[in-house]
């Protein structure tokens, strides 16, 4: 994170497996007893795999999801042989289904070389529940087994080529009461030098880190900038049930010499921890976010590990949290030893600032999660960071939206590169699927109202219908019933539902000057979760 005034990913369905076959003619078969390092390629069970980092005895077929050590590069076929393409249209990721209710599955399958499709298999938790040989490819599953389930679809063509949608998570529940994911964190950084406490959407956050408290080389602390503002934040946040931590360090112009000095000796670490604990208790903070940017591999890494272990002991004794902001991936990631994973409540992955242009694309987020979890960080302790600012212009997202409302639905205005609403939603879904939370730098860069990025994140976390619609081509849209020639009076008005106590997939209702269509069997209030889709407003 820096004290500075600072390609759209379509989150529609899951992306199919590689569609171009891999050339495996020069590859050797994977051997369980052989060590492989990053970049080494093998073939295994008719697929090509590339190692992302050091590995031994990890079966590529079982360890090739985005967070694991192997990358699946496609099926071994003659060069240029295309595979079929498939996307899963329903059910939606993170959708919730009442026990014993019908769950509609549907997929779209095609082939770039017009090879006939033989069939599509629908799977729940790896078990085939149905096979469909003709388009439209669909089936119905009656929700069974409370809790989360993994669903996917796989296509097979008549030449034997296969492709999968990849797995997504759905839940089976006993009723339609909305429950957020247990333990999922929504973290925001709030700087001392800009932004107003009154503008923070506390109801959409679990943690806020006030930035930054700076140390001196002897372990003492510099006076905190805008202390009164932090005290206002603590009072307001804690009243709303949001935890507040103090972020220590930050980019600070690249000067981490104070950390290097005091962390190198037991006396220096003890002095720093004593002063920091006094600060935390004096101002009734809930914890500490360590933001040393960055300890390098070697002596600094060892000193950082000692500091985090010793600080963790003191904070946990007081019931306080300890987190850390860490680089997305790369060399300085090695400055955080694996032992630190045991000492923190979670790590905030700064998956941005990759370059001076497209600095925070979706793939960078995927790679960051894969890097840290590949080293042993648990899903629950992985918190994905997203930017609320642009590069190279360093403009805040709120400034970009003020210049052009359509910028909310884009990742670039041609000059600035950032994360618009579709990408923020996609990354939040990624965090729900593969991590334990999502973080942003920083809250004052957000805009208010429906185009808020924090709102977009929270709606995904809660499974709510998006309050800001993007039309898929870089602009917002909110269709009117008149423009679609839809007469709202032909539909029952909520709280009445078409079937008495529920609506079935495809049925429509009117509610609060809008028409909604049920995506599947539901008793939920229209617009309250992903079981409903907005059709138009009137």
Q: What distance in Å separates the CA atoms of residue 306 and residue 71, rounded to the nearest whole number? A: 34
At residue 483, the pLDDT reads 59
What residues are paired with 476 via a beta bridge? 470
Encode pLDDT of 302-350 as tens digits: 999 999 999 999 999 999 999 999 999 999 999 999 999 999 999 999 9
Inter-residue contact 511 to 494 (CB < 8 Å): yes
Listed in sequence order, the DSSP H helices in 189-298 are 227-239, 257-262, 266-282
Kind and range of the H or E run holding 313:
helix 299-317
Non-local (6+) Cβ contacts of 61 within 8 A are 44, 45, 47
How many whole angstroms separate alpha carbon 250 and alpha carbon 256? Answer: 9
Cβ atoms of 482 and 420 within 8 Å: the answer is: no
The tokens 């033989």 sit on which residue? 118
Q: How far apart, in whole angstroms, are the C-alpha atoms of residue 2 and residue 65? A: 32
Contact by Cβ (8 Å): 219, 262: yes
The domains found in the chain, sorted by start residue, are 20-81 (2.10.10.20), 85-173 (2.60.40.10), 478-538 (2.10.10.20)
Tokens 């694996």 correspond to: 338
Residue 418: C-alpha distances to residues 253, 260, 354, 423, 459 (Å): 22, 33, 12, 9, 20
Collapse the DSSP code of 166 into the 3-class scheme (helix H, G, I; strand E, B; otherwise coil) and give the result: coil
Check residue 166 and give left, alpha or beta (phi > 0: left; psi -120 to 50: alpha): left
Round to whole Å and give the CA distance between 80 and 530: 39
Question: pLDDT tens across 123-153, in order?
Answer: 998 899 999 999 999 999 998 887 788 999 9
Torsion sign over Cα 62, 66, 68, 73: positive
pLDDT of residue 424: 96
DSSP 95: -
pLDDT of residue 2: 39
Q: How far apart are CA 507 and CA 465, in angstroms?
A: 17
Q: 58 vs 31, 50, 54, 374, 456, CA distance in Å?
A: 10, 12, 10, 12, 37
Segment (H or E) for 148: strand 147-157
What whole-number distance in Å separates Cα of residue 296 and Cα of residue 257?
Answer: 12
CA distances for 148 relative to 129, 172, 183, 387, 520, angstroms: 16, 6, 15, 30, 17
Beta-carbon neighbour count of residue 267 at 10 Å?
A: 11
The token pair at 225 is 């900038």
Six token digits for residue 287: 């914890």
Whether the CB-CB separation of 442 and 1 falls below 8 Å is answered with: yes
pLDDT at 326: 98
Its sign, for the CA torsion 310, 311, 314, 316, is: negative
What was the pLDDT predicted at 151? Answer: 93
Q: Where are the beta strands (DSSP E) in 2-99?
A: 35-36, 41-44, 47-51, 55-56, 70-75, 85-90, 96-98
For residue 65, what pLDDT is reported?
Answer: 75
Task: Quote the pLDDT of residue 473.
Answer: 43
pLDDT of residue 175: 57
Query: H helices within 349-484, ranges in order?
Result: 362-374, 397-403, 421-434, 453-462
pTM of the model: 0.59
pLDDT at residue 182 in the model? 66
pLDDT in tens for each of the 538 residues of the chain?
Answer: 433 333 333 332 333 344 445 678 788 899 988 988 888 999 887 788 898 888 888 888 888 877 788 888 877 765 456 788 999 988 887 777 888 888 999 999 999 888 899 999 999 988 999 999 999 999 999 988 877 889 999 999 888 788 888 888 888 876 544 444 568 999 999 999 999 999 999 989 999 999 999 999 999 999 999 999 999 999 999 998 899 999 999 999 999 999 999 999 999 999 999 999 999 999 999 999 999 999 999 999 999 999 999 999 999 999 999 999 999 999 999 999 999 999 999 999 999 999 988 899 999 999 999 999 999 999 999 999 999 999 999 999 999 999 998 899 999 998 999 999 999 999 999 999 999 999 999 999 999 878 999 999 998 888 877 878 786 544 445 556 775 677 888 899 999 999 888 888 778 899 988 888 887 788 888 877 667 777 777 8
């Amino acid at each position: 994170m820096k004290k500075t005034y600072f390609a759209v990913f379509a989150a529609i369905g899951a992306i199919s497996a590689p569609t171009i076959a891999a050339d495996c003619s020069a590859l050797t078969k994977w051997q369980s007893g052989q060590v492989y390092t990053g970049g080494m390629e093998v073939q295994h069970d008719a697929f090509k795999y590339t190692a992302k980092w050091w590995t031994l005895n990890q079966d590529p077929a079982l360890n090739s999801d985005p967070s694991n050590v192997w990358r699946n590069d496609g099926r071994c076929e003659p060069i240029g042989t295309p595979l079929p393409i498939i996307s899963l249209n329903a059910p939606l990721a993170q959708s919730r289904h009442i026990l014993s209710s019908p769950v509609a599955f549907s997929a779209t399958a095609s082939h770039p070389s017009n090879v006939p499709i033989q069939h599509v298999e629908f799977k729940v938790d790896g078990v085939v529940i149905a096979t469909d040989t003709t388009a439209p490819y669909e089936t119905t599953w009656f929700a069974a087994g409370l809790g989360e389930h993994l669903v996917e679809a796989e296509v097979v063509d008549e030449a034997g080529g296969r492709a999968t949608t990849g797995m997504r998570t759905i839940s089976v529940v006993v009723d339609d009461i909305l429950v957020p994911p247990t333990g999922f964190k929504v973290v925001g950084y709030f700087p001392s030098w800009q932004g107003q406490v009154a503008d923070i959407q506390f109801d959409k956050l679990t943690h806020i880190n006030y930035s930054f408290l700076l140390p001196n080389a002897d372990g003492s602390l510099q006076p905190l900038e805008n202390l009164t503002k932090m005290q206002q934040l603590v009072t307001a946040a804690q009243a709303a049930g949001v935890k507040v931590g103090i972020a220590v360090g930050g980019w600070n112009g690249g000067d981490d010499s104070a950390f290097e000095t005091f962390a190198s000796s037991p006396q220096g670490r003890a002095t720093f921890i004593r002063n920091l604990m006094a600060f935390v208790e004096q101002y009734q903070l809930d914890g500490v976010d360590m933001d040393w940017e960055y300890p390098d591999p070697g002596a600094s890494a060892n000193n950082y590990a000692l500091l985090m272990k010793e600080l963790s002991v003191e904070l946990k004794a007081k019931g306080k949290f300890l987190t850390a902001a860490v680089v997305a991936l790369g060399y300085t990631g090695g400055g955080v030893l694996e032992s630190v994973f045991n000492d923190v409540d979670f790590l905030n992955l700064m998956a941005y600032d990759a370059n001076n242009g497209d600095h925070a694309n979706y793939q960078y987020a995927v790679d960051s999660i894969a890097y840290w979890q590949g080293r042993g960080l648990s899903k629950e302790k992985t918190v994905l960071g997203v930017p609320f600012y642009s590069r190279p212009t360093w403009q805040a997202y709120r400034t970009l939206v003020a210049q052009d409302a359509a910028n909310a639905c884009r990742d670039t205005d041609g000059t600035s590169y950032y994360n618009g609403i579709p990408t923020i939603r996609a990354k939040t879904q990624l965090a729900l699927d593969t991590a334990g939370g999502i973080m942003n730098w920083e809250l004052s860069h957000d805009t208010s109202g429906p185009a808020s990025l924090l709102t977009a994140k929270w709606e995904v976390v809660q499974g709510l219908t998006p309050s800001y619609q993007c039309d898929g081509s870089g602009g917002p849209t909110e269709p009117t019933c008149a423009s679609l020639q839809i007469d709202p009076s032909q539909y029952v008005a909520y709280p009445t539902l078409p079937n008495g106590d529920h609506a079935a997939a495809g049925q429509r209702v009117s509610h609060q000057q809008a028409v909604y269509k049920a995506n599947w069997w539901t008793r939920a209030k229209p617009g309250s979760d992903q079981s409903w889709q907005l059709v138009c407003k009137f």
